[in-house]
Chain A
Amino acid sequence: MSSGADPVLAVDDLRKRYDDTVALDGVDLAVADGEFVAVVGPSGCGKSTLLRVLSGLEAEFGGRVAVDGTDVCDGGSDAVGMVFQEPRLLDWADVRENIAVGLPADVDPDAPAARERVDDLIETVGLGGFADSHPDELSGGMAQRVSLARGLAYNPSVLLLDEPFSALDRLTKADQQDHLLDVWEARGTTVVLVTHDVEEAVYLADRVVVLGGQPGTVESVVDVDIDRPRERADTELVALRREVTAVLGR
């Protein structure tokens, strides 16, 4: 699956330092259209930094990062949507307005077509009936789904997710993971998910990229060639999980 034509996301020898600390040292990554890639690694290996560079939040870095062939420094990051670790919602705005923040700049949020698009997304993420609710009326999982819908509203070439489920309890987390898979399969969005949860990575992704070391580099890439829908307890899946964990522990 990774051997597509031109990759949607191409990362070439990415190096990033904060003052004296080198966060990323020569990361290469290519993500094909429609692919679901998970990036795992211990804390402090630069996972979040990687996403910040991809989404254009870091202005200075070494190497080259391109989305749809356009360098992120030349507006390539415009094609990237991001779901942060925290929902990061506007707490004075209702769900509909929060999702509309993600609408592309050339879409008038008050136009009927845009409203319909937002309403569709509210249904897509399973929040029907909560369009007029405010973030303080939502549970953590629901708020994170609003954040996901906001990312989808943007209709990005690549949707980045930065440990979006890490703050959720186990049951909610499993629900949200399956939900994300449904949305991904239905919409065919290219997804890069950063997580420290190996089980989550192997269960969700087509490919698991293991970042390691300090500064962070790609330690290994594990292909997950298991048919979907997957069983969490699938023996092959468990074996892969062990493999990834073994690379991490190295």
Chain B
Amino acid sequence: MAADTRRESDVSRESDSGRGSTAGGSAGNAESHSLGPVPLPAASRFRPLLGLLVPAAVVVVWHLIVATGTIPAYQLPTPLRVAETLYGMGASGELWGHVAITVQRVVLGAGLGIAVGTVFGTATGLSRTASDLLDPLLQSLKNIPSLAWVPLFLLWFGIGESAKVLLIAVGSFFPVYLNLSTGIAAVDEELLEVAEVYDLGRVESLRRVVFPAALPDLLVGIRGGVGLAWMFVVAAELIAASQGIGFLLSDGRTLARPDIIVGSILLFAFLGNCSDVAVKEVRDRVVGR
């Protein structure tokens, strides 16, 4: 509490001096008093930056651990070494092929999984019969780990792109299906009665009541689905790929290049984060008001 107060007074002093330079010395003490709370938003603007403090500290500690030899460099490269490797691969153009193919797989796979998940989720959400028929099966399939699918998909679809895209589609299907199905089934009975009283009809009540009401659930499902797509792309690329970030990972292991391994992991983290932020942004625009 005491620290808070101190910070607040620090900030307000800063803003006072700032204002002095623009508005001249006419600003009296009484006025600056009433402006006390104003600097608070300025302080909160830096709040997101707090999230960078711990990662920065981790990088420093990481560097120190390797530099002092606590962990040997052949097991863990220094942060700088990882950055150099990534930069070198980027500059030579080698990296972009891997990134592009992985992103392409995720986009195609997640797109397919989201589309099929939307269809099945809508069907089971709307129809009790469809739910009774399909839901028990789908609920048990969702528990199969991603790696368990890989041998079967290789057998069925070969080592081409289709096996990987389909595997990713399986991953992103489930969150979309589960969220949309429950979302549609849980649409407020009271609103459905409104639709009935005003004779909206089947199609219109879907368009104007059911789908908008379930849209937040769909978007939650899509966010989960995109997240799982990144999990599944690693499974696909680790085992059967000659290109992609997952391939880079396993290649780094074969070549005993920890810098490539760590670099690939960081690439996955970065790309996964970007897609998550993008989906979240879309969700906030659509749902948040």
Contacts and interface: CB of A to CB of B under 8 A. Distances in A.
Contacts of A102: 198
Contact of A81 (B191, B198, B212): B198
Interface stretch (A84-92, A118-126, A222-230): A84-92
Interface in B224-281: none
Nearest to A136: B289
B190 interface: yes
Contacts of A56: 196-197
A86 B190 contact: yes
A81 B193 CA distance: 12
A55 interface: yes
B199 interface: yes
Contacts of A84: 190, 193-194
A240 interface: no
A93 B194 contact: no
B191 A154 contact: no
B284 interface: no
A81 B197 contact: yes
Contacts of B190: 84, 86, 88
A81, A101, A105: residue with the most chain B Cβ atoms closer than 10 Å: A101
Interface in A101-117: 101-102, 104-105
Interface size class of A (residues with CB under 8 A): 20 to 34
B201 A57 contact: no
A104 B199 CA distance: 8
Contact of B198 (A86, A92, A93, A154): A154
Given A105-B201, A134-B289, A150-B198, A88 B212 contact: no
11 contacts: A55-B197, A57-B196, A78-B199, A88-B190, A90-B191, A90-B209, A92-B213, A93-B208, A101-B194, A105-B201, A136-B289
Given A84-B194, A101-B208, 6 more contacts: A57-B197, A77-B197, A90-B191, A90-B208, A101-B194, A154-B198
